[in-house]
Amino acid sequence: MELSRLDEPFPPEDIEWRVQQCGIADSGKAWAMVLAYVTNRAIMKRLDDVCGKENWKNEFLPGPDGGVMCGISIRVGDEWITKWDGAEKTQVEAVKGGMSGSMKRSAVQWGIGRYLYGLEENFAESSAEKRQGWNRASFKDKKTQQFKELWWQPPTLPGWALPKPGNSPQQEENQHQEPLRSPDEILSEFTEMASSEHDEQSLLALYKATWNALEGHKEQRDKCVEVMRIRKSKLKKAA
């Protein structure tokens, strides 16, 4: 049993994305910041493949403040080793969501999907108009206090967050997949959204996601810092 194999990246089809924050700028440009997670189905298959079906198990217990705790145990030699973590119950399908979330967190304790923390928050490709096959997200408009919708699709995973090529034609295709947007397009979108953002907390969230999306592109990152500096200065003068 090579437990180090638990740490290996997953193919894109085993990754699910969740919107952490989204909105539509005054210019009409939609935006969504997303985080990546490994699906529970992929976690169970990874445990089956690495440990064997008979050498791992999970259990759930009530957690603090109504949450759920999950423990994943792996038999190493003659000893069962358990690692625990927990999650809050979700608003939709509270119990199922809490169990799913706590198992994902417990899996990270074993190294499964831990590499995804390196992605942090990132921008998804977004549209204020309905797009066939895209995901839908809703948010509460700060000005009107009404709920609005936008549509988004996941960003492209960087090469380091993909399995090593050579295992299948699909993995080869994913490894060489082009990014959905160029660094200049990402910077341009941030500049446009920042210019119309009046909430400093939301501005900081946009900046963080843009910075992450521009990894490996120093010129655009430097310009991103400058855009942020100028916009923060204007907001302070207007306060």
Spatial strand order of the sheet with 56-62 comes to 56-62, 68-76, 79-87
Q: What is the pLDDT of residue 166?
A: 62
Q: Which residues contact 200 (CB under 8 A, 6 or more apart)?
A: 232, 235
Which amino acid, one-letter code, is at 128?
A: A
Share of the chain above pLDDT 70, in %: 93
Q: What is the mean pLDDT of the chain?
A: 88
214: confidence class by pLDDT, cuts 50, 70, 90: confident
Is the confidence at residue 36, as pLDDT, over 90? yes
Q: Which residues contact 211 (CB under 8 A, 6 or more apart)?
A: 221, 224
| In the chain, where the domains are located | 7-53+87-178, 181-239
35, 49 Cβ separation under 8 angstroms? no
For helices 183-195 and 218-238, give the axis angle rounded to 10 degrees: 0
Q: What is the pLDDT of residue 169?
A: 46
92: confidence class by pLDDT, cuts 50, 70, 90: low
Residue-wise pLDDT tens digits, 94-136: 778 889 999 999 999 999 999 998 887 788 989 999 999 999 9
Q: What is the pLDDT of residue 176?
A: 46
Which of 37, 201, 40 is closest to 122 using CA atoms? 37
Residue-wise pLDDT tens digits, 81-90: 999 999 988 7
211: confidence class by pLDDT, cuts 50, 70, 90: confident
165: confidence class by pLDDT, cuts 50, 70, 90: confident
Q: What is the pLDDT of residue 175?
A: 46
Average pLDDT over residues 156-180: 65
pTM of the model: 0.77
Ramachandran angles phi, psi of 131, nearest 5°: -125, 130
